[in-house]
Copies of this chain bind each other. A is one copy, B any other.
Amino acid sequence: MRDKFEAIVKDNPHILYGGDYNPDQWQDMPEIIDEDMRLMRLAEANAMSVGIFGWKAIEPEEHVYTLEWLDDIMDKLHANGVSVILATPSAARPDWMDKKYPEVLRVQANRVRNLHGERHNHCYTSPYYRKKVAEMNQMLAKRYADHPALAMWHISNEYGGDCHCPLCQEAFRNWLRVKYDDNITKLNKQWWTGFWSRGYSSFDDIESAAPHGENAVHGLKLDWQRFVTYQTTDFMENEIAAVRKHTDNPVTTNLMGLFPGFDPWKLSESIDVVSWDNYPRWHNDYQNTWELASDIAFVHDINRSLKAKPFLMLESTPSLVNWQQVNKLKRPNMNILSSIQAIAHGSDSVQYFQWRKGRGACEKFHGACVDHVGNENTRVFREVAQLGNILNKLDGVVGTSVEAKAAIIYDWDNRWAIDIMNGLSDRRNYPETCMEHYRTLWKKGIATDIINMEHDFSEYKLIIAPMLYMLKPNVAKRLKDFVANGGTLVTTYFTGYVNENDLCFLGGFPGDGMMEVTGIWAEEIDTLWHEQTNHLTFNGKSYEIKDYCELVHTKEGCETLASYDEDFYEGMPVITKNSYKEGVAYHIAARTGCDLLEDLYTQILDSTDVKPVVTWDIPEGVSVTKRMGSGQEYVFVMNFTESKQNITVDEEYKNLVNDSVVTGEVAVDKYEVMILLRK
């Protein structure tokens, strides 16, 4: 067992509880600010994010600064025991800036420059904006460096999107020049521009894809995604360097789950703490609650894996959001359950958007801790305060970690390549497929990391690599080594089709040597109509197949665990098992439901030493996780079903939620969470 990590905020060694706080919207109603302080104390809040989108409040006209309100808020929060996660205000620009320096306005893929408006839409390349943001950040850092409330930096907000302006096009070209050694022939080969006369004469001639321009060159689109990751990270680093001129507080930026716009593995290298904004569709109409819980757990596990240490849930709603087709209230206890789920997977915070509902404009009906009615006598506030009370007992959890022997590869580059690809079927569903493999482990209570294909594989016993269509250099080799050294590898249809630039491997799929370890050759892939099925029989039971049927041939020595039951490829292998040196590689050639995955993984796991975090049986819909550190273990038991579930624990525990003793057979109520500490 590892030692605990240090608390992220030194002076605040608690689960960070609070949310986005926007007093700049209420400057002309000081009584509201005072009321907020009272209500924060009631809710036992201890950390608030301040200043997001605050540029206009800080610099209403160019070079005119108004920071008194922020000074006052910092003081007030500190006086009320609340740490400040201070935001840099770059996520929205004041009007005077867009007017005087239009280069900051983003240009869309259709080559139309945005008008002033909305947020999150600046050019990441603009020299002016980079300089101005650095000045702003440095000014804030200098002013508050010694303020006792200052805990962390919240760099900008939800970075995302891309800009196609001439400055960005030139930056893209320069990025390509570096990548391809200033050799246009090298680029042309990797992008396969020999077709359709697409060859580039020079780097000068390249520009990003456009609805009315190039779309056929997939290497271009793939490299654009990488450039956007690079440029976003570079912009952020410029922001961070500025605050570091005067402060050494930890920095974070709030990520957005599986948002495909940039690769968080690259960006998170430049921050101290990973954080993300968590807005699940609880109580939706297409999924069981526990299935959604598993999907969210998958995202929490990515965020923990990004830096292999505690992360922060930096936004969530205490009730509803305002941007879904139908915006549901969180049912009673769901806010407590879903907030603690974050902690159960490695978060050291519960943070909301936002503390108090704004009165007007587009976000006025987004849920918040304090409603327009303005007092504590609401269902939502009561649950927020109840959670504050529970979190206050979890100081011991801070800094503990999750230890996983299993990993699933979910890779951003791979997703881009799959989504960009033409052909096969419109049912790509790469994230969904990874989440379905994950779900089988989640149900079994197995701690799992979610990694990218460049991550070190050696610490794991089981690696699941669904739809690993792209194999970057050395990935095949490293997977072979992993199996050779005793690891268990699971691959599926769509494995090893292309190299890192989306160029097909010649000589048979899975390419780059993966035929050797998987023991199969995938000759063709048949795609099924949306309503069409095939079937396979595994251990005497029939399972449905949908979407994809890869037609594979086994190499000598590779065992066929199941074959197709229908169609012209009836009898061809669909699940195979290949022993390779010390390890084993399984291949699942078709897309199945979770029923097959669950039964197959039961068999696969039996022959590994990857084990659940508890020894007792876990009912369907109940999630069990464990955080450990410095000799302590916290077991989280979460009932994501709508009915009571029974478990039989192995020892006597203390349930920190209500300070009860838990032993033997116990009932877990609908949406109940237990946090068990061995007595």
Give residues in A with beta carbon < 8 Å to B.
22, 24-28, 53-57, 60-61, 89, 92-96, 99, 108, 110-119, 189-201, 205, 207, 209-210, 212-219, 284-285, 319-323, 325-329, 331-332, 357-366, 371-374, 378-380, 421-427, 498, 501-509, 521, 523-524, 526-532, 551, 568
Contacts and interface: CB of A to CB of B under 8 A. Distances in A.
Contact of A378 (B116, B192, B523): B523
Given A25-B195, A219-B360, 16 more contacts: A57-B194, A93-B197, A94-B201, A193-B361, A195-B358, A285-B529, A285-B530, A325-B425, A326-B530, A329-B526, A359-B506, A360-B498, A364-B423, A372-B504, A373-B506, A373-B523
B95 A503 contact: no
A372 B509 contact: yes
Given A216-B119, A332-B568, A422 B192 contact: no
Q: Point out which of A25, A198, A551 has the most chain B C-beta atoms below 10 A from its C-beta.
A: A198
A218 B362 contact: yes
B199 A527 contact: no
A564 to B, nearest CB: 13
Contacts of A373: 506-509, 521, 523
Contact of A218 (B190, B321, B361): B361
A119 B422 CA distance: 16
A207 B115 CA distance: 9
Given A213-B116, A213-B117, A285-B532, A361 B192 contact: yes
Contacts of A532: 285
A94 B362 contact: no
A329 B349 CA distance: 51
Contacts of A320: 423
A425 B216 contact: no
A54 B209 CA distance: 22
19 contacts: A55-B197, A56-B193, A57-B194, A89-B197, A94-B197, A95-B201, A96-B201, A114-B212, A118-B214, A195-B361, A216-B363, A218-B361, A326-B530, A331-B568, A360-B502, A364-B504, A371-B523, A371-B524, A380-B524
Given A360-B502, A362-B218, A531-B285, A56 B526 contact: no
A2 to B, nearest CB: 41
A505 B118 contact: no
A192 B358 contact: yes
A506 B77 CA distance: 23
Given A372-B505, A379-B523, A422 B365 contact: yes
B196 A326 contact: no
A189 B95 contact: no
Contacts of A189: 28
A509 B371 CA distance: 11
Contact of A116 (B214, B506, B508): B214
A209 B116 CA distance: 10
Closest 10 CB pairs of A and B: A192-B360, A117-B214, A115-B213, A365-B423, A322-B423, A25-B194, A56-B197, A285-B529, A92-B197, A117-B213
B359 A504 contact: yes
A327 B327 CA distance: 37
Contacts of A119: 196-197, 216
Nearest to A427: B326
A366 B196 CA distance: 14
Nearest to A283: B529
Nearest to A530: B326
A521 to B, nearest CB: 8
B96 A192 contact: no
Contact of A360 (B423, B504, B527): B504
Contacts of A325: 425-426
Nearest to A332: B568
A57 B24 CA distance: 60
A551 B332 CA distance: 14
Contacts of A363: 195, 216, 422
A364 B219 CA distance: 12
Q: Point out which of A108, A365, A378 has the most chain B C-beta atoms below 10 A from its C-beta.
A: A365
A504 to B, nearest CB: 5
A425 B326 contact: yes
A274 to B, nearest CB: 25
A27 to B, nearest CB: 7
A119 to B, nearest CB: 5
B197 A421 contact: no
A556 to B, nearest CB: 16
A667 B579 CA distance: 48
